[in-house]
Structure 1
Amino acid sequence: MPRRGGPPEVNAGSMADIAFLLLIFFLVTTTIETDAGLDRMLPPIEPPDQDVVIKQKNIFTVNINKNGQLLVEEELLDLRDLRARAVEFLDNGGDGTCNYCRGGKDASSSDNPTKAIISLKNDRETKYATYITVQNELVGAYNELRNREAQRLYGRNFTEMEAEFLNPETPASIRDDLKDKVKAVQDLFPQKLSEAETSASN
């Protein structure tokens, strides 16, 4: 009986099939993390009919440096106090035309919520988490005031009404009713959050 030369061979014909099945398994079971975004409604691209003059006292400036420190109205401010300061600015009613404002009516601060603008500027090296936290605090200031007015007018929180209105499963009749209410509250405290051009670190 003749002797076979060399070591025995391993049948590798099915290795490609096994590798392909493993690849499919990992593709199906792997979850890919996505960055959290900010929900923003951009205005239409239409030039204004006339030049708008904005008084400096109607602009609430918030600057974030690369270390995550806040400079609000030229003063260092703790992040925990940002929402309260923004509410104070938006609810000021300095010119006396806002009959629902409960602020101090400081003549050196914002005239009316419809004229009040929050300007946010951050450094190129600002951490994303800090940027999102500041955004949340500023949007929270608007929602706090809108919730107050929605409770006064309709006995409900604005955030609940808005969530129900945006829910596609809400019946059309209820959405039509909520549409006018949501817009009415939004018009009392319109969200005018402007982002200035990012600055570079020195």
Structure 2
Amino acid sequence: MPRRKGAPEVNAGSMADIAFLLLIFFLVTTTIETDAGLDRMLPPIEPPEQDVVIKQKNIFTVNINRNGQLLVEDNLMEMKDLRKAATAFLENGADGSCTYCKGKKDPSSSDNPSKAIISLKNDRETKYSTYITVQNELVGAYNDLRNREAQRLYGRDFTKMEAEYLNPETPSSVRDDLKDKVKRIQDMFPQKLSEAETSTD
């Protein structure tokens, strides 16, 4: 009596190749989203050697409540007016030491761009979109002033100069040339944007 043949075997030798090809395919075609954040420089860990005294008039306070309303320097303000108010504060130049400032030199406002600080405080229930919009307006005030001075000194916008300087594909010779220019404009209007502790009430 002839022997019965067993169940046919499946050739699994190529399965590993197929799995490997699928893995490569998904690695190549899949895009990984990266979260965009806010560009902020954190304060140094070391405490300052001496206490720094800041005059109240050199602080521009911006509060956002849970309803998205702005309280700027204890006055209600529309979002569309925020950038103009911040710009006027930053270049006020009350002490007369700022030769490039075009402000009103109001003695009750900031002395100098290097001393001017913008303090932002928001409620815990503030909408994220409102918070980002306020941030954009405040940073926009700095960029407007920096662009103005970069145009005056170098004939081009600061934001474009900075983007080119920070681009890793920019040739080192160009970056070396831009380094001092970017730093000079940054020093003219240093970005001092402080975020106060979030309000919980």
Q: Which amino acid aligns with 2:138?
A: L
Is structure 2 residue 94 aligned with structure 1 residue 94?
yes
Question: Which residue of structure 2 lines up, in the alignment, with residue 149 of structure 1?
Answer: 149
Q: Deviations over 1:34-62 (max 9, x none)?
A: 55410112233222121110000000000
How many Å separate the matches in 2 of 1:145 and 1:36? 25
CA 169–33 in structure 1, closer or farther in 2 if over 3 Å, else same: closer
Aligned to 1:159: 159
Aligned ranges 1:48-87 → 2 under 5 Å = 48-87=48-87
1:1-202 to 2 correspondence within 5 Å?
Answer: 35-201=35-201
Counterpart of 2:10?
A: none
| C-alpha RMSD over aligned residues | 2.1
- How many residues end up aligned between the 2 structures? 182
TM-score, normalised to structure 1's length?
0.83
Deviations 1:9-51 (A, max 9, x none): xxxxxxxx9xx9xxx8999877676554101122332221211
Which residue of structure 1 lines up, in the alignment, with residue 4 of structure 2?
Answer: none
* 1:75 positional shift: 0.4
- CA distance in 1 between counterparts of 2:32 and 2:127 reads 22
Do the aligned partners of residues 115 and 166 (structure 1) sit closer, same or farther apart at CA in structure 2, a change above 3 Å counting? same
- Opposite residue 153 of structure 1, the aligned amino acid is L
- TM-score w.r.t. the length of structure 2 is 0.84
Q: AA paired with 2:182?
A: V
SS across alignment from 1:48: coil
Moved runs in structure 1, 4+ residues, more than 6 A? 24-32
Partners of 1:132 and 1:26 lie apart in 2 by 35
Distance of 1:35 and 1:198 partners within structure 2: 22
- For residues 90-148 of structure 1, what are the alpha-carbon distances to aligned partners after superposition, in whole Å with 9 as ceiling and x for unaligned? 01000111111000000000000000000000000001111111001000000000001
Distance in 2 between the 1:105 and 1:177 partners? 34
Write the distance in 2 (CA, Å) between the matches of 1:57 and 1:64.
Answer: 20
Per the alignment, do residues 34 and 126 of structure 1 end up closer, same or farther by CA in structure 2, a change over 3 Å counting?
Answer: farther
- Residues in 1 aligned to 2:64 and 2:161: alpha-carbon distance in whole angstroms: 32
Q: Classify the secondary structure of the residue corresponding to 2:63.
A: strand
Structure 1 range deviating more: 133-142 or 36-45: 36-45
Aligned residue type for 1:119: S
